[in-house]
Amino acid sequence: MTAYLVYDVFTDTPFGGNQLAIFTDAEALPQDKLQAIAAEFNFSEVTFVYPPDDLRHTAKVRIFTPTLELPFAGHPIIGTAIALADIGFPPKMTLELGIGPVPCTVANGRAQFTTTAPLTRDAKPDTALVARALGLTVDDINTEHHTPVQAGLGVAFVITELSNRDALSRCQPDINAMRDGAARYPGSLDFAILAYVVEGDLIHARMFAPLENIPEDPATGSAAAALAALLCDLTGEIQDLTIHQGFQMGRPSVIHARADASGVTISGQAVRVMEGQFLGHN
């Protein structure tokens, strides 16, 4: 049997934020079953923790969605770091991920990590297609600052600014349009879209990846990092963002993202809600 923990991430309240299952000692698990285990949970992500390849680091972490392994994702890093600190790992740690080593710090139930992975722009998807994929009209998309852009830090999202909160609330993804987008603009995720609205000091966001078995994600740290990096690059100014996500789903999440020329820092809280045992049945 192998133990696992379940944390709600980017919240300090159980049943908020984004669920994460963490196998803090995954060495005994069959490697060919990791994807099946992640699919069994059907959370946005599951993490598997191993001894580091480089002994100067704290641990190696593999991240799986229900359908694929990711090199980088935000809420799994935050949740895994807090879980490891809770079971006795040092509060300052370096986690080995698919994008390389990522330094993390944990204090008082809050973690932060910084990534220096470069921002990549893979494509500029057709605005009308993006609108159709979100179940909106072209007029609902704000192109004043940027048109929809497929960009990310290791994992790419179609980052799309909307005209107002009403448009954000009306998003209803069209699977056929999503499939069309994935075919025309292939990426690490199948046409996952981060839709956002700027309202004063806050950013309200929703993230949809139905082709990855994630109809809507309550909190997406990697998308928040991509957005902060993109806005920093576009404006040439430091970005210090507070992002609200998951509120419409009933799983409110708060993500803090700071981007400057040296990299992107993501921070947030997490709370343990469950623990259990994987029995290893075939």
User: What would the pLDDT profile of 121-135 be if each residue is shown by its tens digit?
Assistant: 999 999 999 999 999
**What average pLDDT score do residues 17-33 get?**
95
DSSP letter, residue 91: S
Query: Cα angle at 169 between 153 and 9, to 5 degrees?
Result: 45
Percent of the chain with pLDDT over 90: 91
Give residue 281's pLDDT: 56
How far is the C-alpha of 277 from the C-alpha of 282, rounded, in Å?
Answer: 15
With vertex at residue 199, the alpha carbon angle to CA 197 and CA 201, rounded to the nearest 5 degrees, is 120
Catalytic residue, chosen from 27, 45, 69, 237, is: 45
Q: What is the mean pLDDT of residues 26-45?
A: 94
DSSP β-bridge partners for residue 114: 265
Question: What's the pLDDT at 201?
Answer: 79
**For residues 217-237, average pLDDT:** 95
DSSP state of 117: P
> What pLDDT was estimated at residue 128?
98
Token duo for residue 128? 């009308």
The band of 97, judged by pLDDT with boundaries at 50, 70 and 90, is very high
Q: Encode pLDDT of 249-260 as tens digits.
A: 999 999 999 999
d(Cα 33, Cα 21) in Å, to the nearest integer? 15
Q: Which among 191, 156, 161 has a CA at the least distance from the CA of 174?
A: 191
Q: How far is Cα 143 from Cα 23, in angstroms, rounded to an integer? A: 42
Place of tokens 């100014």: 237
CA nearest to 48, candidates 30, 22, 75, 28: 22
Active site residue 45: yes
Average pLDDT, integer, range 31-40: 95
The answer to whether residue 282 scores a pLDDT higher than 70 is: no
Residues in CB range of 236: below 8 A, 6 or more apart: none
* Residue percentage of the chain with pLDDT more than 70: 99
Is residue 21 predicted with pLDDT exceeding 70? yes
CA distances from 177 to 186, 243, 276 (A): 13, 27, 39
Region 180-201: mean pLDDT is 93
Q: What is the pLDDT of residues 62-86, one digit of tens each?
A: 999 999 999 988 999 999 999 999 9
Task: Report pLDDT for 232.
Answer: 96
Helix (H) or strand (E) holding 272: strand 263-278
